Amino acid sequence: MPIEQIAIIVVLYILTLILPTCFWFLFFAYQDRKEPEPKSLIAYLFLWGILTGFIAIIINRLIEYYLFNSDINSAHQYLFEQDQNISARQFITFLAVTSLFEEFVKLLAILYFTYKNKYFTQIIDGVIYATTIALGFSFFENSIYFFEFSQYLSYKEFFITSALRGIASVLLHLSATGIIGYFIGLMKFKNKNKPLYLAIGLICGMLLHIFFNLFIQLKYPLNSISFTLLALCFLLLFISIQRKKALKIWN
């Protein structure tokens, strides 16, 4: 590979993966500045987010292989080449199943590693933990796709796809998993209806992930619905963590 091509890939990787991840780390750290979480805990959760991303990639590829019977890159071929051997029903099923699984595996990580943690003292902490795991997850997932796309997309397609994933994909994981984390915070500090809070959070996070992935496949201007939905959900999450109840120290 020519040195110029390597340099372009490195620069794109920094711009579309590393910098967005750093930005969102600083963004959510600022929201929790009055009662910050230990840096060691945040680093630990980020690494577990990477591990959950690794697990999800493996399961997603197995699902992809099962649905399309042969080529594990069939979903990518459908997306970029409109492969006629793949039905829209197959592709939609793939998006729905993988979206559900990704949010579920992140939910398990949040509950297992943070729910009984002594530092979990505010509702906003649920969002901080959830978004940290989501950042690790999206960083690993986008890294895999980044290097895969570099193999068979043109420079223009590669740049556009990398930029979109660096913005939209990361924001999607932050919003969907952040919503789940918010309701986990409510579940932890509310005395009644704890399972209901968990169910609402999980359903909302999963639905956002599914609908975004489905609407983004539509042609313009219908695909703009996905970005509108994502922006509204992130705004609601941001407003929610600014409330006094979310910032109150419960124990």
Question: pLDDT per position in the chain (251 positions), as tens?
Answer: 678 777 888 888 998 899 999 999 999 999 998 889 999 999 999 999 999 999 988 888 787 777 666 454 444 444 444 444 555 666 677 777 888 889 999 999 999 999 999 999 999 999 999 999 999 999 999 998 888 877 777 777 777 888 888 888 999 999 999 999 999 999 999 888 899 999 999 999 999 998 888 887 777 777 788 899 999 999 999 999 998 888 888 76
Query: Alpha carbon of 214 to those of 56, 63, 81, 139, 246: distances in Å?
Result: 19, 17, 17, 21, 31
Backbone angles phi, psi at 2, to 5 degrees: -60, 150
CB–CB of 90/67 below 8 Å? Answer: yes
* pLDDT digit string, tens, across residues 62-83: 877 776 664 544 444 444 444 4
CA quadruple 164, 168, 173, 179: dihedral, nearest 10: 180
pLDDT of 89: 65
Backbone angles phi, psi at 117, to 5 degrees: -70, 140
How many residues are present in the chain?
Answer: 251
- Helices 170-189, 88-114: axis angle to 10 degrees equals 40
* pLDDT digit string, tens, across residues 73-114: 444 444 444 444 555 666 677 777 888 889 999 999 999 999
CB–CB of 121/251 below 8 Å? Answer: yes
